[in-house]
A = this chain, B = another copy of it.
């Protein structure tokens, strides 16, 4: 599958891309700065020893992807996404975006839409948004020789789209837990605030969560 990762030069996006490349997928790293995307893709090819990683502008990446993964900062989606609307139409769009504000009075700062994923869905109305991959630490993704100790929690309004994302999770060894409709994306994104706080307090880089009783 061709997976475009917008904002893929960041740690989380690049970590997902590396895991998926190793699982046999074709990766298009997207960036505002096409040159940076190409450089990052080159580094990732070297690290993973997979040639199926290329770099493009966010727009060209979105055009080439069967699935489009949004790994952009929460602030600025309203500027970054509207130009990509046609490129994303009809596609599965995975929002990994977490609305966290470091250094302010409150770490978890969801937008008026309730969650970043719902904001993405509003900005890309023709796409099928699934919220997922918020809790898999970049540090865990980067250690590609090790299994990831975290469940994949997903929510979204389209069952087929969730099945595609579940398959992407399975391809990197994750158990998927279906957390219902996209209106649950706020609580999912909030868990990242919990994990970020735990990482800071306990001096960790890779806390994660597992659902018990399942």
Determine the distance from Cα of A179 to Cα of B197 in the docked complex, in whole angstroms: 6
Determine the distance from Cα of A118 to Cα of B106 in the docked complex, in whole angstroms: 12
Q: Which residues of B contact A112 (CB under 8 A)?
A: none
Determine the distance from Cα of A194 to Cα of B140 in the docked complex, in whole angstroms: 23
Determine the distance from Cα of A209 to Cα of B150 in the docked complex, in whole angstroms: 11
Residues 114-143 of A at the B interface (beta carbon under 8 Å): 114, 137, 140
Q: Give the A interface residue count (CB, 8 A).
A: 40
- Please tell me how many copies of the chain the complex holds: 2
Min C-beta distance of A127 to chain B, whole Å:
21
Q: Which of B183, B207, B213, B214 contacts A214 (CB 8 A)?
A: B207
Q: Which residues of B contact A209 (CB under 8 A)?
A: 209-212
Residue of B nearest to A206 (CB): B213
- Whether A77 is near chain B, meaning CB under 8 Å from some CB there, is no
Residues 71-124 of A at the B interface (beta carbon under 8 Å): 105-108, 114
- Whether A51 is near chain B, meaning CB under 8 Å from some CB there, is no
Q: Which of B153, B195, B213 contacts A137 (CB 8 A)?
A: B213
Q: Is the CB of A212 within 8 A of B150?
A: yes
Q: Which residues of B contact A183 (CB under 8 A)?
A: 105-107
Q: Is the CB of B193 within 8 A of A191?
A: no
Q: Is the CB of A210 within 8 A of B207?
A: no
Q: Is the CB of B201 within 8 A of A190?
A: no
Q: Which residues of B contact A107 (CB under 8 A)?
A: 180, 183-184, 187
Q: Which residues of B contact A108 (CB under 8 A)?
A: 184, 186-187
Q: Which residues of B contact A64 (CB under 8 A)?
A: none
Known contacts being A183-B105, A184-B193, A194-B188, is A212 close to B201, with CB within 8 Å? no
Known: A107-B184, A107-B187, A187-B190. 19 other contacts (CB 8 A): A105-B183, A108-B184, A137-B213, A140-B213, A149-B212, A153-B194, A178-B201, A179-B198, A180-B201, A187-B194, A190-B190, A190-B191, A191-B191, A195-B211, A198-B214, A202-B214, A204-B214, A208-B213, A210-B210
